[in-house]
A and B are shown apart, each in its own frame.
Chain A
Amino acid sequence: MDEMKKPAVLALEDGSVFRGFSCGAQGESSGELVFNTSMMGYQEVLTDPSYKGQLVVMTYPQIGNYGITAADYESARPFLEGFVVWELCRHPSNWESVETVDFFLKRNGTPGIEGVDTRALTIRLRQAGSLRAVLSSVDLDAERLIRKARQCPPMSGQNLAKAVSCSKPYEWTGRRDGQRSAGSRTRGHHVIVFDFGVKRGILRCLGSLGCRVSVVPAWTSAAEALALRPDGIVLSNGPGDPEPLSDVAKEIRRLVETGLPTLGICLGHQLLGLAFGGRTFKLKFGHHGSNHPVQDLRTGRIEITSQNHGFCVDMQSLPADLETTHINLNDRTSEGMRHRSLPIFSVQYHPEASAGPHDSRYIFERFAQAMARREGGRKAHA
């Protein structure tokens, strides 16, 4: 009906083709196609660096209802390769809204497609597993696009974290959190965050615990990090396959041997697993959404978690030093582990949520406690 609508095509490596209309920026992009089941929080998805190399299908059909706000960026810009929706809202409504998603995508050069049967697409991905795809509004030739999709490099083996990491260290000062800073007065623990594509949510959570937060590039060596005299290390989330980051894993191994409190999140969790000699594998279609039930094996408590990962730690491969602390109740995969004697632990899900329920923020408090205990221990020694 709308004469302004320009056609766009999404072609998958398995030969399926979805036609729709272009939204966001014009152009062509490719990557691995995954679906996300969050009903809200598309802005966080759009700006989550972990989606580097991927096109994201939102299963919820009406996206963009509240537009884009100033406070919900997870990074400065979108990293995903393309955005696939059934319907994009052109008239958002919310007191915090500053622009439409369409404008945001255009402004950032991110292509999107709407009018795609996202449910059919999701079922396709559920059955076939994540597939490589090409999204284009400039080339509408299905055959050619399918060929391009097949030529696109697979996620496995790509070192994407380096592509999204900050290029030089910086100190996090932003506190656009809106949250009352919880309990602990600024004790000023110094936390070094290895940026493999860190979400601001993690930095906000650390900030609101009163930590001093330094963010360092993915390739920072253990020695360089230790030179900053940290009280704790956070290994951030990030895109793609952890295996190509074996050099990073080596540095992590060196770091953890110092006994510094260490928290791994998502890719950080997988890297810790690799650092301790474990293995990772690729999930069929990954976990992308904000309703995954995770059980804390020690307390039996269930947290509803935010997740975004395509790879997973093989629990069987872990050395005896590491203990599984959390599992996913849907498929019983690894969601958390800890070192039996050192203050080192990690979770596969996103304790900072954004987007998703805030059930798991206690992970940051545990981390802060670990830093405090260590500090207490040192003072006692002194």
Chain B
Amino acid sequence: MPKRTDIQKILVVGSGPIVIGQACEFDYSGTQGAKALREEGYNVVLVNSNPATIMTDPQLAERTYIEPLTPEFLEMIIERERPQAMLSTLGGQTALNLATALAERGVLAKYGVELLGAKLEAIRKAEDRQLFKAAMQEASLDLPKSRIVTDIRELQEVSRDLGFPIIIRASFTLGGTGGGIAYHLEELRSCVAAALEASPVKRVLLEESVIGWKEYELEVMRDGKDNFVVICSIENLDPMGVHTGDSITVAPAQTLTDRQYQEMRDEAKRAVSVIGVETGGCNVQFGVDPKTGRRVIIEINPRVSRSSALASKATGFPIAKIATKLAVGYSLDEIPNDITRKTPASFEPAIDYVVTKVPRFAFEKFQSSSEYTLDTTMKSVGEVMAIGRTFKESIQKALRSLEIGKAGLESGEFALGEQPSAAEEERLLRKLSLPCAERVFAVKAALQRGLFPKEIADISSIDPWFLHQFQELVAFEQALKRSPLTPQLLREAKALGFSDEQIGKLCARSAASVRRLRRRWDLRPAFSSVDTCAAEFEAETPYFYSTYSSTPPPRSVRKGEGRAKNRKIAILGSGPNRIGQGIEFDYCCVHASQALKAAGYRTIMINCNPETVSTDYDISDRLYFEPLTLEDVLEVLDFERPEGVIVQFGGQTPLNLTQGLHRAGIRILGTSSASIDMAESRERFGALLKRLRIPAPAYGIAGGVRHALRIARRIGYPVMVRPSYVLGGRAMETVYDEASLKQYVLRAAKASEHPALLIDRFLSDATEVDVDAVCDGKNVFIGGIMEHIEEAGIHSGDSACTIPAHSLTPEQLERISDYTHRLARALKVVGLLNIQFAVKDNVVYVLEANPRASRTVPFVSKATGLPLAKIAARVMAGASLKGLLPKELLGHKIPPLPYTATKEVVLPFIKFRGVDPMLGPEMKSTGEVMGIDLDFSRSFAKGQLASGMSLPVSGAVFISVRDQDKPEILPVATALRQFGFTIHATKNTHRFFERHGIEAKHVYKLGEGKPDAIDLLKQRSLSLVINTPSGKRSHSDGFAIRRTALELNIPTITNIHSCQAALGAVAVLRQAPLQVCALQDYHKRLAYKAPSL
């Protein structure tokens, strides 16, 4: 079938902000999709609220809308653009839900928009568990038994039918609330009661548990001719009961016979066909009873997914791209396989290596009380993938890619001594039985302790096959410890995936000395290509992984080495997504690669995150899917010999490698490692600021309690404390008095052997400002000065901000710009520089300077049309700013924007039970959105809507604020009253309102009487909560209110400054509906001409 010519314009829907369960894999798929459509000559209209995406780069579509992903906004875009079709299978659950909503509201019919890929019927059948069950039964597939429950009284009978444990399905409830596992009636009652309360339809699905079964996923594709292929099979190491997103997974499936696997394939084929997925990629999940082989289908996602991104990276088969082509009418045989170029896409990749994915968690940021166990709702924030010839090699590579301080499969904190106590053994066994983030390390410890794989399998339900693989590693380690290191033994160690660091630890050597031995013995990895066909055909696409299970060809015969005409530059990626380092950095890496390619360089990308655009094989000239450790990176560089390496774009990950690379003689492009060190070292940086006469908060570095108290007394409370060695705001706290400081210091001393603490004067009520700039050593270009909404003290990554600044004076802006210029030059920055300022009492302080890409680079680039990362990459490769940019952009004056862009963040609190949804100096957000409009209030309103906060225009507001915020709440309350809101306030706030003549109803705090604030929330009689906590007690009375509001999805404001901004937004929302406008149109209004790079 040729492509369709009856449609010309297609709306592609993105997935919005990064949240747990929906991350940058959808930027990867959306970008592929948009490119594929353009390639076919379609007119692409794209919508996504997330500015940190490659897909929203204005060059990627005819029209790009950075607007909230709500049915209302989508309808406006459709009305304006009149696309004939909509592709909603690339934007995760968000896009699928939008498609459903638009179809159900009749919008699609009204404007004649056709759904491509999956039709409404198919989406419904896959999403609605009852329809799903019926469909699967029609295709004679087995499912876990299930029952719909509407009343708590049915539970006894239902539980008798299903048997414990029982799975409570989150699909009918909001954001995963109430989803989980109940082991007994008591637990079931409370879970179901909570779920029923949260469920708008008052229905909950209970399901027979198949916990402990083997879990599998098939990534499949279907075309309009009913051709069907499986791209990849995935086996979970963590059995059923742990969400696949939180499981260690392996591709291809390891422990099924061909017949068992093919039966699964047959079932997937039937299932996809009854669901009615017409074309595209699909994810099908199965559970398999390890004792009997009984197989049940768990779910189908009729769209590309996190797993399909993984499958694409694992096999080299670009699922999203092909799915897009299928959606516009092609069939699989009409599309060539990009990798071989000679064979068609209608085949099933054969791979000759093992791929392992390991999730990365962020529990330490949300630790409220208990140790977290994993369950059926996803909690990880990122993942790594590694490729090795065997599972052993690949999991070791994956574990060291995680950047959690493990050099491979190490037992670390779980290692038992020679004579462990019963309690220690007990703890280890518990770690094995309860799935948790660190379980694989506990497994290692247990094997070292002498437990048999069979015993561990019985406790953990992990398949013995995996445990025997681990056992082989443990056995090898013992051999390694016993015998002298020979070339043969070292070769074996490397083939088993051991890193130099691990080997060093086992042989009492340094990693560097192991490396030297390897050099001496000429032990190097081979770089094999990911070719979709197990070497059956020659591969064209340069996508590689390292392995020591293959012999590298001799240096002399390396193809295309040395004589390449183009100059080569390597770019280091940012590794697994985590809170504080996510998609923004990948965006910068991709931009660097694009800009350098366009300038005639050959680019080499090194990264290990399968979700990203940077690891798409057609972004760079060569892609190495490798851990970002010094060892692995050096091997690639040694093989490729680029003229330099870029470490500025991948966040802290590559920056941490700078010194090591430098010492190994690698040329770091851009800002020197000495300058990086200067900016990172608090003392040297402090001295620099002093020399430049740039104000900074007073600070000191403390060794112990007494020292800390002395420093704090000198600089005055409140102070900001943090361990001096951590970054990303980890364990950072604002401390108001001596007692709390003492507590903090003692806690820190217990947590680590580096007791040094950084103590800063806390600038309370200061306005925080972020600046992103590029410097070429001489000239400085300021991309944007962003003013934060929340005051300093809320981590810059968690606060909303606007560009242009909305309240700073021209004189303050001038000073900020001046400091930026001076610092950039003093630090001899070549490339990007991010500076955080705080403005208090008309003094501009510098909080920190990061000579690297920052989280806000994509936001600034989208807002201004100036691609900062591309400009920086060119500068690092030797270009001058003067040559790249128009003159007017290089002075001290910031070019004016004739509109406003606001960045707002999204927070993952809902996923972490019992955690107070409060902001502070430690970053907690997972992602961001951008609102763009003509003025600040409108752009802020859009930012709120896009981040999921539906600000009300009428109704009842609950207000409870701390004393220091009371003066500032007055104008807010007055305005809310004028808008016709009723106000409910707790005792003190109420009294305060009374005194100031603001009409408010008194509402009880918890325990004061009934009905209290929580009751009001549960009755859904409040449409907005304003609650600022008192600074000194972190868990104040407000906690229950904030948590309940969060769980009921009631908009909540916890910061007085956001409150004022929100009020402005409510005001504009009350006036007239917001309008949509394409990014390309905003950029047309700019006074300067953006360079095309």
Contact = CB atoms under 8 A, between A and B. Distances in A.
B317 to A, nearest CB: 11
B262 A357 contact: yes
A291 B535 contact: no
A291 B265 CA distance: 13
Interface string A85-109: 0110111111110000000000000
Interface in A101-121: 117-120
B349 A91 contact: no
B535 A59 contact: yes
B378 interface: no
A113 to B, nearest CB: 15
Which of A119, A126, A300 has most chain B Cβ within 10 Å? A119
B468 A91 contact: yes
B333 A87 contact: no
A341 B869 CA distance: 68
Contact of A119 (B291, B350, B550): B550
Given A86-B389, A329-B333, A119 B535 contact: yes
Interface string B940-972: 000000000000000000000000000000000
B293 A95 contact: yes
Interface string B219-236: 000000111111000000
A320 B453 CA distance: 63
A353 B262 contact: yes
Contacts, number: 168
A180 to B, nearest CB: 9
Contacts of A66: 255-257
A123 interface: yes
B252 A61 contact: no
Contact of A329 (B257, B344, B476): B344
A72 B258 CA distance: 9
A70 to B, nearest CB: 11
B153 interface: no
A60 interface: yes
B333 A71 contact: no
Interface string B260-291: 11100110000000000000000000000011
A96 B549 contact: no
Contact of B537 (A93, A94, A96, A126): A126
Contacts of A91: 453, 464-465, 468, 471
Interface string A124-136: 0010000000000
A329 B551 contact: no
A72 B257 contact: yes
A358 B266 CA distance: 7
Interface in A347-365: 353-359
A62 interface: yes
A270 interface: no
A39 B257 contact: no
B535 to A, nearest CB: 4
A295 B346 CA distance: 10
B727 interface: no
B114 interface: no
Contacts of B535: 59, 119, 122-123, 126
B255 A94 contact: yes
B262 A59 contact: no
A231 interface: no
B346 A354 contact: no
A69 B256 CA distance: 11
A37 B536 contact: yes
A92 B453 CA distance: 12
Nearest to A40: B258
B293 A61 contact: no
Interface stretch (B351-359, B594-602, B905-913, B1039-1047): B351-359
B348 A1 contact: no
Contacts of B293: 95-96
A91 B293 CA distance: 19
B76 interface: no
A301 interface: yes
A306 to B, nearest CB: 9
Nearest to B553: A120
A201 B226 CA distance: 26
A90 B551 CA distance: 24
A302 interface: yes
A293 interface: yes
A126 B340 CA distance: 14
Nearest to B496: A1
A61 B343 CA distance: 24
Given A40-B253, A62-B390, 17 more contacts: A37-B350, A37-B533, A40-B252, A60-B352, A65-B465, A92-B255, A94-B255, A94-B256, A94-B260, A96-B260, A117-B550, A117-B551, A119-B389, A126-B538, A301-B226, A302-B229, A329-B347
Interface of A: 1, 35, 37-41, 43-44, 59-62, 65-66, 69, 71-72, 86-87, 89-96, 117-120, 122-123, 126, 178, 289-293, 295, 300-302, 304, 329-330, 353-359
11 contacts: A37-B534, A38-B350, A43-B258, A62-B254, A62-B391, A89-B465, A92-B465, A118-B352, A122-B535, A293-B344, A302-B225
